[in-house]
Amino acid sequence: MKKDAWQQDSEYVELISDLIVTDEVQKLATFTHHHHSDRLQHSLSVSFDSYQIAKKLHLDYRSVARAGLLHDLFYYDWRTTKFDLGSHAFIHPRVALRNAEKLTPLSDMEKDIILKHMFGATLALPKYRESLLVSLVDNYEAEREFFAPIRTRVELWLKVRTTL
Beta bridge pairs of residue 37: 33
What is the pLDDT tens value at each position of the chain, 164 positions in all? 566 889 999 999 999 999 999 999 999 998 875 556 788 999 999 999 999 999 999 999 999 999 999 999 986 665 565 556 666 556 788 889 999 999 999 999 999 999 998 887 677 899 999 999 999 999 889 888 777 666 666 667 777 667 66
Using alpha carbons only, give the angle 142, 40, 129 rounded to the nearest 5 degrees.
55
The C-alpha torsion from 147 through 152 and 153 to 154, rounded to 10°, is 80
Ramachandran angles phi, psi of 111, nearest 5°: -60, -45
CB contact at 8 A, 44 and 12: no
What is the identity of the amino acid at 38?
Answer: D
Q: Residue 24 belongs to a domain with what CATH number?
A: 1.10.3210.10
pLDDT at 109: 99
pLDDT digits (tens, 9 = 90+) for 97-143: 999 999 999 999 999 999 998 887 677 899 999 999 999 999 889 88
Helix (H) or strand (E) holding 65: helix 61-70
Range of the domain at 91: 5-163
pLDDT at 17: 98
Residues 144 and 36: their CA atoms lie apart, in Å, by 10
pLDDT at 34: 53
Distances (CA, A) of 151 to 44, 45, 155: 21, 18, 6
DSSP code of residue 140? H
Taken in order 150, 80, 112, 15, the sign of the CA dihedral is negative
Residues 26 and 164: their CA atoms lie apart, in Å, by 45
- Count the domains in the chain: 1
pLDDT at 14: 98
| SS3 of residue 4 by DSSP | coil
pLDDT at 161: 67
pLDDT at 78: 57
pLDDT at 33: 57
